[in-house]
Amino acid sequence: MSKIELKHIDKFYGKNHVLKDLNLTIEDGDFMTLLGPSGCGKTTTLRVVSGLEKPQNGFIYMDGKEIVNAAEAYYAPPSQRNLNLVFQSYALWPHMTVFENVSFGLKIKKIPSAEIEKMVASALDRMQIGQYAKRYPTELSGGQQQRVAIARAIVSEPRLLLLDEPLSNLDAKLRVDMRSELKRLHHDTGSTIIYVTHDQVEALTMSTKIALFREGELVQVDKPLALYDNPCNLYTADFIGNPSINFIQAAGTIDAGGLVAEGIMGRLIFPKEDMTDNAPTSGKYDLILGIRPEQISISRERTSPEQVEAHVYAGMPAGSETLVAVRVGEKLITVKELGSTHYGGDEVVYLSFDPRKINVFDAKSENLIKYCR
Ligand SMILES: Nc1ncnc2c1ncn2[C@@H]1O[C@H](COP(=O)(O)OP(=O)(O)OP(=O)(O)O)[C@@H](O)[C@H]1O
């Protein structure tokens, strides 16, 4: 078991209020990613959970047991929290070889040496660094050292693993390999993992849940694809997804039947059952349509009157996919197609999309008012 509950956590550095009434539950077996831009409080949250920082307000429970109660100035020391922590700066012991670094914790636990050999070999293999077992940290690149630090943390298959940007020093290919290794590790061990990153692709591909931060507050906590398909507001919509979602202004009228949006993408009608619970029920509103690049298809021929005429601004074939920037009136819109297609600059094309698949936001509140179905 490793369930973590944070309740009403406030953390100040001087006057800087870096965690603001944070409430977050990480269930046993979750791969929870703390995601957000630099400085939003992700690392501070990890340090508060691990006991390296003391929040000024709030409570933390681990498997129901209180480990922080700020009101009573009770903070269980890190050693009693039974977790494993890997930071971006991976402090390896310089006088020990890779094998010794990774096996150190197991020796302390007095595990038989044959068993240790097996466990270390498996952790090093997972991180693709078996060949460096006899080297010292100074004889390794930054990325190799980072992988040793992860191997050291996972070798004992801890129930709770905290990882702070552990892949930040790796090149693009290795980072993709390591993502699948970490995901497989989570699958094999069922450990609870709290993972910090500002890379939304890492978050989407590995996590069971994502907690998206903005300036010390949680904006949305959800399953990755729920965040992608139905971001609760413009901030989440913009942060998640690469290439970014297209935001397109429209004028909206809401009545008992649903929503009608009019603008450069034509006249769109959305049924009432696709509206969110907090959507207004009547009136006129400025809207922002959120349309993901892959939800738009391009054709060189007009095949239906609903298609929107556009002019190619730049076509960017990249082998497996093609990004096309097109102009509709003055607005630049990104479209993503599978495969490689060459579009000439200024070529006339026709766009189509399924209105049920798009998000609609209220421009003023910035909140989602119509779901993607
Ligand atoms: N020890 C400290 N003393 C004072 N301010 C700090 C300290 N640690 C962090 N901060 C501040 O707290 C805020 C949150 O920092 P934190 O490291 O949690 O952000 P982060 O989201 O992890 O960012 P990054 O992705 O850049 O690591 C920042 O404004 C940072 O400058």
Beta bridge partners of 360: 289, 370
H-state helical runs in the chain: 42-50, 98-108, 113-126, 142-154, 172-189, 200-206, 224-229, 234-239
Tokens for 112, please give them: 């038989």
| pLDDT computed for residue 170 by the predictor | 83
pLDDT digits (tens, 9 = 90+) for 255-283: 988 999 999 999 999 999 999 999 999 99
Helix (H) or strand (E) holding 33: strand 31-35
pLDDT band (50, 70, 90) for residue 345:
confident
Alpha-carbon span 131 to 21, nearest angstrom:
47
Ligand 1 centre distance from Cα of residue 25 (Å): 21
* Coil, strand or helix at 210: strand
DSSP classification of residue 281: S
| pLDDT computed for residue 87 by the predictor | 66
CA nearest ligand 1 atom 3, residue: 13
Mean of the pLDDT values across residues 346-373?
Answer: 95
| pLDDT computed for residue 1 by the predictor | 62
pLDDT digits (tens, 9 = 90+) for 25-48: 999 999 999 999 999 999 999 999
Closest CA to 36 of 234, 217, 231, 257: 217
Tokens for 96, please give them: 């020990």
| Ligand 1 pocket, residue 217 CB under 6 Å | no
Tokens for 23, please give them: 């409430």
Pocket test for ligand 1, best of 44, 54, 86, 169 (most atoms within 8 A of CB): 44
- Given a contact cutoff of 8 angstroms between Cβ atoms, the answer to whether 329 and 336 are in contact is no
| pLDDT computed for residue 89 by the predictor | 61
Q: Tell whether the model's pLDDT for residue 206 goes beyond 90.
A: yes
| pLDDT computed for residue 88 by the predictor | 60
Mean of the pLDDT values across residues 334-359?
Answer: 94
Q: How many CA atoms lie within 13 A of 90 on its CB side?
A: 29
pLDDT digits (tens, 9 = 90+) for 80-138: 887 777 766 667 899 999 999 999 989 988 999 999 999 999 999 988 899 999 999 99
Q: Tell whether the model's pLDDT for residue 218 goes beyond 80.
A: yes
CA nearest ligand 1 atom 13, residue: 39
pLDDT digits (tens, 9 = 90+) for 143-193: 888 889 889 988 988 888 899 998 888 888 888 888 988 898 899 888 899
Ligand 1 centre distance from Cα of residue 44 (Å): 6
Mean of the pLDDT values across residues 210-223?
Answer: 97
CA nearest ligand 1 atom 28, residue: 39
| Ligand 1 pocket, residue 44 CB under 6 Å | yes
| Ligand 1 pocket, residue 197 CB under 6 Å | no
64: left (phi over 0), alpha (psi -120 to 50) or beta: left
% the chain with pLDDT above 70: 98
| pLDDT computed for residue 90 by the predictor | 65
Please provide the average confidence, as pLDDT, over all residues in the chain: 93
Tokens for 156, please give them: 């004992």
